[in-house]
Amino acid sequence: MILGVWLASASITLPPFCGWAKNVHTAGVCLISQDFGYTIYSTAVAFYIPMLVMLVMYYKIFKAARKSGAKHRFTDISRRERLSTVANEALRMHGMKPGGVAEECAAISRLLNRERRNISIFKREQKAATTLGVIVGVFGVCWLPFFVLSTARPFICGVECSCVPIWLERTLLWLGYANSLMNPFIYAFFNRDLRSTYRDLLRCRYRNINRRLSAVGVHEALKV
């Protein structure tokens, strides 16, 4: 998969050096090739196709999360009914068979523990789906304007120059770069342990930071 990412990146950046499309270097203007075919290919491979894959995959995750939520609500009602039945039976037997009451209480305790585990799993799945949705949405908002501009520019301005104001191009480019700045804040917003770790970093408390920022630490934090 890593090799595939590098090959896809190379297929975008190398063609102008290999004769397919020539970069523009005239009258103080430095532009990546504005060839129509290359522009469509490079923007599609760099952004539109990956974004489409991300949206399709998130839609599947969203459907799975909704299905899990519906299943949880159904089983939650079923468990509550069983808990009510067990509790009523325990009350009925109270004063007659102390041993039986203890068994019923133990059964209630087991059901409650199982319910807590199921709720914890459900909340973790919902949090993961929400976090992923926010990250995908912010990624699209940050990068879509730049790639729309890059795709449309040769059709509007021609292949030899750029009629787009330099300030607009740079603003949209830096909006895309800002996406990398936003991700840590998004993760911290949805993750209590990451917030605590960032707080310790700002206070120069570096004890166990590497362990807490490790993949295992983040995975364990998402369970809360």
For residues 125-141, average pLDDT: 85
Confidence of residue 107 (pLDDT cuts 50, 70, 90): low
Of residues 206, 216, 212, 215, the one with CA closest to residue 194: 212
Angle at 26 between CA 24 and CA 28, to 5 degrees: 110
What pLDDT is attached to residue 216?
42
Q: Which residue has the higher pLDDT, 136 or 128?
A: 136
Q: Which residue has the higher pLDDT, 62 or 75?
A: 62
pLDDT > 80? residue 186: yes
Q: Which residue has the higher pLDDT, 116 or 6?
A: 6
Q: Are 24 and 160 in contact (CB under 8 A)?
A: yes
What pLDDT is attached to residue 80?
55
Location of structure tokens 């949209």:
172
pLDDT > 70? residue 78: no
Residues in the chain, total: 224
What pLDDT is attached to residue 143?
94
What pLDDT is attached to residue 224?
43
Q: What is the pLDDT of residues 89-104, one digit of tens each?
A: 555 555 544 445 556 5
The whole-angstrom separation of Cα 36 and Cα 128 is 40
The Cα-based distances of 101 to 41, 96, 98, 107, 206 in angstroms read 72, 9, 5, 10, 52
